[in-house]
Structure 1
Amino acid sequence: MRQAVDLLLINGTVVTMNPEGSVVADGAVAIRGRSIADVGPTAALLARYEAAETHDCRGCAIIPGLINGHAHVPMSLLRGLVADQQLDVWLFGYMFPVESRFADANFTFTGTQLSCAEMIRGGTTTFVDMYYFEEEVARAADMAGMRAICGQTVMRLPTPDAASYDEGLDRARRFIEQWHAHDRIVPTIAPHAPYTCTDTIYHEAAALCRRYGVPLVTHLSETAREVQESRAEHEATPFGYAARVGAFDVKCIAAHGVHATEDDIITIRERGVGVVPCPSSNLKLASGVAPIRRFLEAGVRTGLGTDGPASNDDQDMFTEIHLAALLPKGTSGDPTAVPAREALALATSRGAQAIHLEHLIGSLVPGKRADIAIVELGRLHSAPRYSYAPDSIYTHLAYSARAGDVRDVLVDGRWLMRDRALTTLDEPDVLRRAQAIADQIDAFLAKREVNLLDKILAIGGVQQDELFEVQAKAKITDATVERIVGLLGGADLSFSKASERTQYDTYFTWNDQAKGRVRLREDHRVDPGGRVGPKYTITLTAPPDRAEYPSAVRLGRARYTAPADRTLRFYREYFQPDQVVEIEKHRRRWRIVYRGEDFALNIDTLRGHHDPGPYLEIKSRTWSSRDADAKAALIDELLALFGVPEQALVMQEYVEL
């Protein structure tokens, strides 16, 4: 008597991805409930089972559903937003500012639905996510019927869903408690990376993962710069730091690992860490090529991911399989470096190990969940087929197959796509809602890219000063310098603060002067008590409303200043100026009081300049144009007191000389 099953997939090439590498040429898979009941030849399973439904897979491969081991799925809404930038410019100049403005619950839910539709069409049944409003990722993935590990992002920086990391930790805790009992969704916490987190964040995250038995998700060693900075700050690589702060005391999924060292590889193998390179994203962002071959040789749990669609532009795991097979060959000169079967395993059986779900998914064996993709084999780009070699099917799937070849997808034995029709998602509606959000972002960026104020506000920490600045500048002699210094501290000219400094100014200017200009300043100050600093600032100066007095210039303008915590290269690529002007000067500065009014008095020497000076500069700022007029008159008196002749006046700023 035949046994009852719910579904029989028959007449396909069954690629089990079991430890023996079994392939059944004319094979079948029996499914009962959410699990695989049996795998074997079609004739044998038809004789053994009576199915409520039989599905013909002739001309197709039946494979385990693909596993996307690292993604930021809501970022499908940011696909194509910016390209050809360094990682820090891409992240801090575009991703974080856009997300801080637009990433909310609806953004996250809609972006996840768009990604789920794309992944299902490409045969992906499981993904590991790291984003904000992760409960919306979980909700969308659940509605789509997919399996997911959803990591609520925590950083020391404010995020779209948490003003502080304490709030982020609380949010992650509530999310895990809410979704912990779900059968397909694994809720967890995702400390973003060592360079955006603290020891406390990692300690708390590990404790939370230990309490609920969920894996910790994080980024590690994606770029060479990240490793270099980690060594300088933590005296350890990112992997070494993560081990020190407890990230490996629980199950851990570490994205990228592009620049893992030999010591790192030993550590992650011994600690059972899953590492997930993302070949397309790592190439596009010029992060490098992960040592996939070395990971496999060392026995490291290794998977594959797409990363976010904003840094990859698709979520096609067949592309990642293809690159995982090719890149190690190209970098090693060994065509056997990562064979096709191993490349496919990275997205199936090995991928399941990397995300710590090998007991449930990753191979077609009885007892595991029925997460399955059915892939057509005879399309133009994949025809003809050869079967003389037992491993030919792996070659076909790794090198010829494409996401568009996927015909059917099941998760837990439930159809998510059948005959290329999505069954759990309304594709036209998802596309419409996604484009509506993209249109808003497009309008925001179009305005920002032509407005320097919007660009500098986007990177945060900006203080605004709307003011009038009255200034006089003159080229003076050494004798005049001595006269000025001798007068300071007298009855008519007191001073409250004196300092010496070396300032390195880099100005960004544009042919369209209406844009204003940006100044990066590195200020090394020496006070009587010793050296102070350096201090780094970035200032946007709006185009001035200029008025000239006999000896001074009044500039009515807006200034926006923020801490400069990025590299000069970052700001150059972010602002894309037409010209870059560098000025180095030695400055002696006094804060003086003359007739009850405050002024800054500077004596400057320009280093490396064709006319180094010295220069006298007298400045004062005010909110009142009437006050500016009065201070201009006082500057005339100061110039006369210092013995500065009219012909010595310079009516330009240093950047204009």
Structure 2
Amino acid sequence: MEKADYILAGGTVVLMDEARTVIEDGSIAVKEDKILAVGTTAAIAAQYDAVEVVDCSGQAIIPGLINAHTHVPMTLLRGLADDLRLDVWLMGYMMPVEREFVNPEFVRLGTKLACAEMIKTGTTCFNEMYYFEEEIAAATAEAGMRGVLAQSVMKYPSPDSASYEDALARTREYIQQWKGHPLIVPAVGPHSPYTCPPEVLRACSALAQEFDVPLHIHISETALEVENMRKENNMPVVPWIKKQNILDAKVIAAHCVHIDEGEIRTLKHAGAGVAHNPTSNLKLASGVAPIVAMLNIGVNVGIGTDGPASNNDLDMFEEMRLAALLAKGFSGDPTALPAAEAFAMATIYGARAIHMGDIIGSLEPGKRADIVVVDLSTLHNTPRFQRSPDAIYSQLVYVSKGSDVSHVICNGRWLLRNRKLLTLDEAELSRESALVAQKIDKFLLAREGDIVRKLLALGGLSQEESFEVQVKAHLDDLTMVEKFLHDPELTIMKSSRYRQYDTYFSFDLAGQGQLRIREDIYLDEFDRPTPRSRYRLTLTGEASEHEYPLGVILSRARFTASAEQSVRFYREYLNPSEEREIVKLRRRHRFLFHDTQFAINIDRLTAPERPGYYVEIKSRTWSSRDAENKADFIVELLAKLGIAESHLLKAEYYSLATRE
């Protein structure tokens, strides 16, 4: 008789081979890291002798489940910020917290916590992308799991790389360190087309091809991403990444929610795999991916949980069930994505999607021994029907839960036995994770009451000149102003015309000031819009610092930054107590007076519509003493412009937005 290390005997073996073989009262013989044989219990017992025979009666023996897309260290961020739009969730919470807390220790702990959860729910292999990927690799190997692990690359500074050049160099070193490991497949992870410019995508593709490793990237996750791509490049996302050579590599494309049939065929011809993430896409309201069309065309589609911060768990049984139900509900066809196909997506299709179908994803002789045993005798699994060969798939997809997993083996090694973790300390991981959560809570609580800190968390915020000296007047006629501006002795440094859309936020907490979000659309000399635009944030103090004669006000402009997100983003992120909007046509002239730079703004309010013109004279400074001199100069300018004191206003545009 041939020798095996152990035999799993007497269960319902679900092979997931091409014939979709199911063996009732079947057994699997394992030696070292491979499957020796699969057959009936009687046939295996007659041919193989083993050190141990494990009774699996009343249980299903299935291939280890494959999580085709996730970000495992984000177990430490699960539940941190839920029920938010993707941009608010990502830019407002995830990235600021990651910048503050993500380091090698954080990544190692989060990975171990994720591995513990995945092992207990039947996952043996996962495809992921994050930072400090060498730490994730080490923790994954220690836990005994298999992983395709991609080092993140993006144009922004990240927790482990100051620039994309640094990220690329780090990725190269990481691949060289881990390539050839029995459990770890290193990969290149350009985050997405919207976070990686063309030169970064091309460099990532070249690196992946040089080492023949997978390339993991987010594709067409949101409608906004697709809309922006069409607007900026006049083409959909998939053709654009093809132009950047991405599809020349072994691509694993996460999400693909908003792609059309032509793009699906392009992915098919490139041999790319797709990772479908039903829970995450629903929770973040990203949409529903056309996976039935993908499968019909022949794309290899796996199932992923996405990161635990956007799911919020790593249970592939939940994900299989939702994938099947969602396809039916979305299409109106109850036959769409049968249970057997959903199960294939979590096993053999998933293995092919991550370019590992030759060694995992099915229980066939010669493949790696990645095996899960699922208890079918639990109350919610009772009764069980067996008249149909597909009944076992329905049982596993629609009924079974992650908590039904009894045993997990990866690469021939026992990771879970009788529901007990063998490679990780569950209690210690829970304790350490709770301490991290306390620190993150403290960080977020401290910034929630401070608008400046919340804006600083987004990056790009800077303090400008501390003071702004200004006066505002309301005029029915601009004759004197035009005469002044056309004085040949006046030095005009720059003139511009805009349509300005201003949104003002105010806040309940004292001392927070007001935030103005401004969109400037540049106009030509006939007040027609040009392609140029500018977006700015300005946070000001609540009140003026000082008032000089004739209503000249000294105010403090605390911070300014480019407004890189939408008004809706800032509204949901900052939660203002009040919001007002102003639209105006502005002519701005910068000029020198007494060798000092001033600006004069001539505004016409169109929303809310107001008669006449509003004229502002202003200058900026770091010095309160300099502000006094400039206030005196502004008084002189008022005289030159013929603006009487009766025309002066102390009101800001913010207050004019509600004045009738």
| Bucket of the pairwise TM-score, normalised by the shorter protein | over 0.9
Is 2:331 the counterpart of 1:294? no
Query: 2 CA distance for matches of 1:412 and 1:547?
Result: 73
Letter of the structure 1 residue corresponding to residue 105 of structure 2: N
Letter of the structure 1 residue corresponding to residue 144 of structure 2: G
Does the aligned pair in 2 maintain the 1:456–1:540 contact within 8 Å? no
SS at match of 1:359: coil
How far 1:493 moved relative to its partner? 5.5
Is 2:217 the counterpart of 1:209? no
Does the aligned pair in 2 maintain the 1:462–1:560 contact within 8 Å? yes
Q: Structure 2-normalised TM-score?
A: 0.95
Does the aligned pair in 2 maintain the 1:17–1:363 contact within 8 Å? yes
How far does the alpha carbon of each residue in 1:33-61 deviate from its partner, in whole angstroms, 9 at most, with x for none? 11111111222222322211121112211
Query: 2 CA distance for matches of 1:377 and 1:137?
Result: 33
Q: How does 1:234-633 map to 2 (within 5 A)?
A: 234-465=233-464, 467-478=466-477, 481-488=478-485, 490=487, 494-526=491-523, 533-633=532-632
Q: Partner residue of 2:197?
A: 198
Question: Quick one: structure 1 residues 476 and 443, their matched pair in 2 at CA, closer, same or farther if it must change by over 3 Å?
Answer: same
Deviates more, 1:250-259 or 1:464-473: 464-473
Does the aligned pair in 2 maintain the 1:547–1:554 contact within 8 Å? yes
Deviates more, 1:77-86 or 1:432-441: 432-441
Query: 2 CA distance for matches of 1:177 and 1:642?
Result: 71
Question: Quick one: structure 1 residues 545 and 330, their matched pair in 2 at CA, closer, same or farther if it must change by over 3 Å?
Answer: same
How far 1:558 moved relative to its partner? 4.2
Query: 2 CA distance for matches of 1:234 and 1:497?
Result: 32
**Identity among equivalent pairs (%):** 50
Query: 2 CA distance for matches of 1:286 and 1:527?
Result: 40
How far 1:409 moved relative to its partner? 0.4
Question: Quick one: structure 1 residues 554 and 382, their matched pair in 2 at CA, closer, same or farther if it must change by over 3 Å?
Answer: same
Question: Quick one: structure 1 residues 503 and 384, their matched pair in 2 at CA, closer, same or farther if it must change by over 3 Å?
Answer: same
Query: 1 CA distance for matches of 2:80 and 2:651?
Result: 40
Does the aligned pair in 2 maintain the 1:492–1:595 contact within 8 Å? no
Question: Quick one: structure 1 residues 408 and 607, their matched pair in 2 at CA, closer, same or farther if it must change by over 3 Å?
Answer: same
Q: Structure 2: which 5+ runs fail to align?
A: none
How far does the alpha carbon of each residue in 1:403-431 deviate from its partner, in whole angstroms, 9 at most, with x for none? 11111100011110111111111112212
Does the aligned pair in 1 maintain the 2:465–2:621 contact within 8 Å? no
Does the aligned pair in 1 maintain the 2:276–2:304 contact within 8 Å? yes
Query: 2 CA distance for matches of 1:331 and 1:490?
Result: 68
Does the aligned pair in 1 maintain the 2:552–2:634 contact within 8 Å? no
How far 1:381 moved relative to its partner? 1.9
Letter of the structure 2 residue corresponding to residue 313 of structure 1: N
Question: Quick one: structure 1 residues 382 and 506, their matched pair in 2 at CA, closer, same or farther if it must change by over 3 Å?
Answer: same
How far 1:621 moved relative to its partner? 2.3
SS at match of 2:503: strand
Letter of the structure 1 residue corresponding to residue 114 of structure 2: S
Does the aligned pair in 1 maintain the 2:554–2:627 contact within 8 Å? no
Deviates more, 1:35-44 or 1:461-470: 461-470
For the aligned residue pairs, the C-alpha RMSD in angstroms reads 2.0
How far 1:257 moved relative to its partner? 1.2
SS at match of 1:50: strand
Query: 2 CA distance for matches of 1:71 and 1:608?
Result: 46
Letter of the structure 2 residue corresponding to residue 246 of structure 1: N
Letter of the structure 2 residue corresponding to residue 484 of structure 1: V
How far does the alpha carbon of each residue in 1:348-367 deviate from its partner, in whole angstroms, 9 at most, with x for none? 11111111111111111111
How far 1:466 moved relative to its partner? 5.2
Question: Quick one: structure 1 residues 471 and 235, their matched pair in 2 at CA, closer, same or farther if it must change by over 3 Å?
Answer: closer
How far 1:397 moved relative to its partner? 0.3
How far 1:490 moved relative to its partner? 4.8
How far 1:278 moved relative to its partner? 0.5
Question: Quick one: structure 1 residues 555 and 431, their matched pair in 2 at CA, closer, same or farther if it must change by over 3 Å?
Answer: farther
Does the aligned pair in 2 maintain the 1:544–1:555 contact within 8 Å? no
SS at match of 2:599: strand
Query: 2 CA distance for matches of 1:509 and 1:173?
Result: 48
Deviates more, 1:20-29 or 1:511-520: 511-520
Letter of the structure 2 residue corresponding to residue 406 of structure 1: V
Deviates more, 1:34-43 or 1:589-598: 589-598
Question: Quick one: structure 1 residues 635 and 153, their matched pair in 2 at CA, closer, same or farther if it must change by over 3 Å?
Answer: same
Query: 2 CA distance for matches of 1:156 and 1:68?
Result: 27
Q: Partner residue of 1:147?
A: 146
Query: 2 CA distance for matches of 1:464 and 1:613?
Result: 34
Does the aligned pair in 2 maintain the 1:552–1:635 contact within 8 Å? no
SS at match of 2:303: coil
How far 1:527 moved relative to its partner? 7.2
How far 1:174 moved relative to its partner? 0.5
Deviates more, 1:492-501 or 1:12-21: 492-501
Q: Partner residue of 1:184?
A: 183
Deviates more, 1:164-173 or 1:63-72: 164-173
Query: 1 CA distance for matches of 2:252 and 2:619?
Result: 56
How far 1:523 moved relative to its partner? 1.7
How far 1:620 moved relative to its partner? 2.2
How far 1:525 moved relative to its partner? 3.7
How far does the alpha carbon of each residue in 1:232-281 deviate from its partner, in whole angstroms, 9 at most, with x for none? 22333222222222222222111111122110121122221111110100
Question: Quick one: structure 1 residues 627 and 199, their matched pair in 2 at CA, closer, same or farther if it must change by over 3 Å?
Answer: closer
How far 1:633 moved relative to its partner? 3.0
Query: 2 CA distance for matches of 1:532 and 1:298?
Result: 41
How far 1:199 moved relative to its partner? 2.2
Question: Quick one: structure 1 residues 204 and 484, their matched pair in 2 at CA, closer, same or farther if it must change by over 3 Å?
Answer: closer
SS at match of 2:608: coil
Letter of the structure 2 residue corresponding to residue 522 of structure 1: E
Does the aligned pair in 2 maintain the 1:34–1:413 contact within 8 Å? yes
Q: Partner residue of 1:61?
A: 60
Q: Structure 1-normalised TM-score?
A: 0.96
SS at match of 2:550: coil
How far does the alpha carbon of each residue in 1:471-510 deviate from its partner, in whole angstroms, 9 at most, with x for none? 21121230xx211322346588654333333222111122
SS at match of 1:464: coil
Q: Partner residue of 2:12?
A: 13
Q: Partner residue of 1:655?
A: 654
- Give the aligned length: 654
Letter of the structure 2 residue corresponding to residue 638 of structure 1: L
SS at match of 1:320: helix
SS at match of 2:650: coil
Question: Quick one: structure 1 residues 272 and 592, their matched pair in 2 at CA, closer, same or farther if it must change by over 3 Å?
Answer: closer
How far 1:204 moved relative to its partner? 2.0
Query: 2 CA distance for matches of 1:491 and 1:244?
Result: 54
Q: Partner residue of 2:645?
A: 646
